[in-house]
Structure 1
Amino acid sequence: MRWAAATAFIRLAGLDGTPVDPGLLSRAVTELTAAARSPFDRVTDYCEGDLFGHIERTLHALPPGSNPSVREALDACLPRIVWDYSGSRTRRAIQELFPTPQPRPAPRYTDLTAAQQQLLGDLAGHRHTWLIRSSADGLRDLGLPHTQEALQSFVRAHHTA
């Protein structure tokens, strides 16, 4: 309920150019940040159930610089690609979370940041194998596992170690 209210508030805030109370805006952004950090089941029909993509689009509707906490919320959404049906969020997440190739030999899963682990874990378990295939060249160029099977082994090695 709070996520829906925060989303509606932000979406409606900029429609007519009326100034928005900074305290209310801050509370709405804080709510969306909390939602982005939480595991969830499908909670919306918008964006084909892609809550993280929906939060990103909502926050991008705000004028730049309107709230300094927006970056934190966007960062929380970045590695969450479980419902990325177009592949664009996945490609952007790979580029932003892995800006340079990984050292050789490749790092262990546990040596990666939490956001990097989240992204690779989501890819390993993604139900649309085309998404991994469409990202394979970029993952390979970065020195990362680039097939779903390799990603699953990479992630599983951490959980069984």
Structure 2
Amino acid sequence: MDLSTNVLLDRVQFWHNPDLTSINLKNGNNENIYYLVINDNPNLVYLQVDDPAGVIAGVDPPYDNWTISGNPLISENCYLGLEEFLEFSISIYPNPTNDIIQIESNSFIEIAFIQINSLLGELVMGHGRDTHQLDVSKLSSGVYILKVNTSSGEFTKKLVKE
């Protein structure tokens, strides 16, 4: 959730949102947010603010009236690009592989489609939803590009078939 362009914020609440993974409050006016509650957002990873040290200490106003549950990374520059975020959220192993690759994602990332392309961009293999493993044993040895289309965007990674 990007609220960085809203400099008039003074009260903010985020409650019970399992889809919330990041919050950007860095707007140059965090000292005006006199009330902040972030509670029960199990997949919250990043909280970007103007003064991370003040937020973490939570002693001086307005940060003494901020409540943050969970353990998000609190920083001035914690926002990742989408590709980096998906790389952090999706695991593909083993790589290199001989036969089966495992694809795991965090609970808030839904895999829509997986495709394997040659280095020339030709589609070699594709597989639909809810795929957590892919049999690549019939592929020739070499380097391929694995594309994972998710509910949050597209992620690409080099795949080596031995």
More strand by share: 2
Superposed pair shares fold, TM > 0.5: no
The TM-score normalised by the length of structure 1 is 0.31
Tell which structure's C-alpha radius of gyration is larger. Answer: 2
More helix by share: 1
The TM-score normalised by the length of structure 2 is 0.31
